[in-house]
Amino acid sequence: MLKRSHAFLLILSTTGLGACNTSTPVANSPSETPPQQGSKQIVLADFEEAKLPSLVRQEFINATLTKDTGVTSGKQAIHLAFDSSHEYSTLFLQPEQPWNFSELGDMNLAFDVTNSSDVSVHLYLRVNSKQQNQTRSISIPANSSATYYADLSGQQISVDSGLRADPPAWQSAEHRMPYMNGNRLLDTKAISQISFYISSNIQDKEITLDNVRARTNPAIDPNYLVGLVDAFGQPAKSNYADKVKSDSHLKQLAKDELADLAANPVLTDRSKFGGWKNGPKLKATGFFRTEKVNGVWSLVDPEGYLFFSSGIANIRIANTTTLTGVDFKDDSVRYIDPEDVTPEDSLGIRPVSSEAQKTRYVSSELRHNMFNWLPEYDDALANHYSYRRTTHKGPLPHGETFSFYQANLERRYGERYPESFIDDWQDVTIKRMRSWGMTSFGNWVDPDFYQKDQFPYFANGWIIGDFKTVTADGHGWSPMPDPYDPEFARRAKVTTQVIAEEVKNNPWCIGVFIDNEKSWGNPANIKSHYRIPIQNFKMDASQSPAKAVFTQLLQDKYQDITELNKAWQTNIPSWQSFAKKFDVENINDAMIEDMSMILETYTSQYFKVVNSALREVMPNHLYMGVRMAAWSINPEGVRAAKKYVDVMSYNYYREGMHGSTWNILPEIDMPSIIGEYHFGAMDTGLYHPGLIHSSDQQDRARGYQAYMRKVIDNPYMVGAHWFQYTDSPVTGRAYDGENYNVGFVSNADVPYKEMVEAAREINQELYPRKYKNALK
């Protein structure tokens, strides 16, 4: 029987697929979208009780019933005040018995939200089912009321299109929440919990939530994945400001921008290398270095001026290609040299030979039909085809790609000599950086910029090769390397030597990032925190150098295996047995202590090997570390990195630097830098905003400035790099399917005016704000 006690009502409804969708908050607004006749609906919470229903649980949130603005069904709604003093602020809906949505068939969760404040709210939705979970999120615009939904089952969910987020599968005035992470194919027969939360909120926010319901999906548009991209690589089904209409329009936009750049060439307080010319002049060494000045860490430029790295990452063509759904039977196109030092997603355009093109075939009709136009092989723009030999995610393991972004550069600048448009692009890019007030490039800038001697940069490299690993899977970008394997050390030297040859001891090079977002372990829980030792313990020490070292560490500490068993409460027969294989089951405090020691030893060895290789060939440049992911910042990794890097680096995709995470900085007391962050929206037709969501381009600019001011005001931070220069392709990056609106420029190479204005404003105030105490 369905119990009304926790607001679980099955309704054969002629309403519910439509709801209020207005630009201002509304109360008791009638449905404005025509409903689907006969659709089924289950109301999970309508908040009509005299007090909060029993299924509601709160964590760092103030939830109260309200009859004011935001009621969309009945006479009451729930008002949520999110507490910014905590990193996460959550409302849980947890029924006495799991919800079974299977009777709905293909279904979605929907709810109405009113945001009466003047700031947008990035709201997350998490749905838990047995051992599965899925997270969606979306930006709730300021002063708005609308219906939002997450489609949890249906044909459109099971299709792997190669996009991080597909277009909505049916037309509606409601707002679909993009998938973020977790299990895409969720078991809807036993939904145990639904939660609404905010992550790393840097200011108090509030919304009103009403009418949480599960509904049968409407009919799918059979062409929702057809014709997504126009000839300029833009969203074909959307119109927005500065959308390119023709070649002549693109050239006119370029002409207008060049005039703007000429009128705003560079900020007057900058030194030759972008440092603070109006500030104190410290010791000049001819290269970038670090120094703590009046309690504030800073980079110091080659002339001795204080320097803060405000920049944009991933300024290169490599990540601008998208899979066309075409492949070749000629296996030679997939050959990978085992001595390569450049990973697949860092490679630029790699043309396929005319012989290989003869073996062309359509490997995915679904992907091929996403494009309204692709050039023939004899077309003038066919030189922007390339090939991806391996992929990280998506249905296609390899295939032909096309870069609409690079094709648009040729359209924009023309071609006076082979690839002259690339030279023009590089020239304009440097002018943009200076005009926008940036002080350096971020990570992953094209090496062609290295010897231009015009703008500071960071060099980069990956250690790839056939060395052993300590984990069996690629949690993150790849399995974790075994730094005790001599082959890893050899490959580290090969990589750093290539970087050194590219940089040539250039003083414009600030430092070097090696690898990216290594998964030291997620401290969210014990098993994810100590994933590396737990997985490696299963390996045979005769085949794993790391396991051999870990075994010896424990043997040195405990001597007798009985002492280890006593501490760990295990029954390991012998050290030889442990070295062969050990499966961690029950974890106690003694085991945690030992795994922590092992994890720090392992991480220290990684940084030691890389640091040694880098110092040998690039002694004058800063070692910038590995840019730890926000979810992988654990004490052992931090302590290990501190021993060997010159600057601690973190990729931190949040609304801003939240105190609960960054209270570690005084203890570390080292110069630190944010390697990646961004804000994205969907008002220009892309189907996924990115990792942190804004409601539109103006809201992206607001978020960018708020984030930067938090970083600038932090005495340990010496820089922050926005990710990335260009939007992702509409149909997803070839390597991993990212199709985010996170660029400072569109795929047509047209800058977003709101972002440019925001950058100029924040960078104008950068140095006086950052180093106001340096003049004392």
pLDDT digits (tens, 9 = 90+) for 595-622: 999 999 999 999 999 999 999 999 999 9
Is the pLDDT assigned to residue 706 strictly greater than 80?
yes
By the 8 A CB rule, do 461 and 495 touch?
A: yes
Task: Extract the tokens encoding 719.
Answer: 């820089």
Q: Would you say residue 37 has pLDDT above 50?
A: no
Determine the pLDDT at residue 660.
82
Whole-number pLDDT of residue 478: 75
pLDDT of 35 above 80 = no
Report pLDDT for 475: 59
Choice between 27 and 129, residue whose per-residue pLDDT is larger: 129
**pLDDT single digits (tens) 348-375:** 999 999 999 999 999 999 999 999 999 9
The whole-number average pLDDT for the span 225-239 is 97
Tell which phi-psi region holds residue 583, choosing left (phi > 0), alpha (psi between -120 and 50) or beta.
beta
User: What does the alpha-carbon distance between residue 149 and residue 39 come to, in Å, rounded to a whole number?
Assistant: 15
The 10s digit of each residue's pLDDT in 91-145 is 999 999 999 999 999 999 999 999 999 999 999 999 999 889 999 999 999 999 9
CB 107 within 8 A of CB 150: no
Comparing 590 with 14, the larger pLDDT belongs to 590
Helix (H) or strand (E) holding 530: none
Q: Report the interhelical angle of 420-435 vs 247-263 (nearest 10°).
A: 40
pLDDT in tens, 641-684: 999 999 999 999 999 998 888 988 999 999 999 999 999 999 99
Measured CA angle at 312 (ends 306, 316), to 5 deg: 130
Q: What is the mean pLDDT of residues 389-399?
A: 94
CA distances for 59 relative to 62, 135, 198, angstroms: 8, 18, 11
Q: Within 10 A of 657 (CB to CB), how many other CB atoms are there? A: 22
Global pTM value = 0.93
Band (471; pLDDT cuts 50, 70, 90): confident
pLDDT at 580: 97
Q: Average of pLDDT values for 578-584?
A: 97
Q: How many CB atoms lie within 10 A of CB 635?
A: 16
**Average pLDDT value over all residues in the chain:** 92
Residue 731 CA to residue 382 CA, distance in Å, equals 19
Task: Determine the Cα–Cα distance for residues 436 and 751; give it in Å rounded to an integer.
Answer: 11
Q: Which residues of 601-623 are buried (b: 16+ CB within 10 A; e: fewer)?
A: bbbbbbbebbbebbeebbebbbb
Domains and CATH numbers, the chain: 4-216 (2.60.120.430), 323-423 (no CATH)
Q: Are 718 and 671 in contact (CB under 8 A)?
A: yes
Rounding to the nearest 10 degrees, give the CA dihedral for residues 157, 160, 166, 170: -40
Strand partners, 309: 719
At 474 the pLDDT is 57
Share of residues in the chain with pLDDT > 70 (%): 94
Comparing 335-339, 435-439, 762-766, the range with the smallest average pLDDT is 335-339
In terms of C-beta density within 10 A (0-12 exposed, 13-18 middle, 19 or more buried), how is residue 559 classed? exposed
Contact between 357 and 378 under an 8 Å Cβ cutoff? The reply is: no
Furthest CA-CA distance within the chain: 80
Least confident of 18-32, 430-444, 644-658, 739-753: 18-32
- pLDDT for residue 9 is more than 70: no
**How does pLDDT run across 756-765, given as a tens digit for each residue?**
999 999 999 9
CA distances from 530 to 516, 601, 632 (A): 19, 13, 11
The per-residue pLDDT for 31 is: 38
- pLDDT recorded at residue 661: 83
Which H helix or E strand runs over 474?
A: none
Cα gap 674→648, rounded to integer Å: 9
Write out pLDDT tens, residues 145-198: 999 999 999 999 999 999 999 999 999 999 999 999 999 999 999 999 999 999
Task: Find residue 711's DSSP bridge partners.
Answer: none
Reported as a single tens digit per residue, the pLDDT across 516-546 is 999 899 998 999 999 999 999 999 999 999 9
Task: Name the residue with higher pLDDT: 643 or 477.
Answer: 643
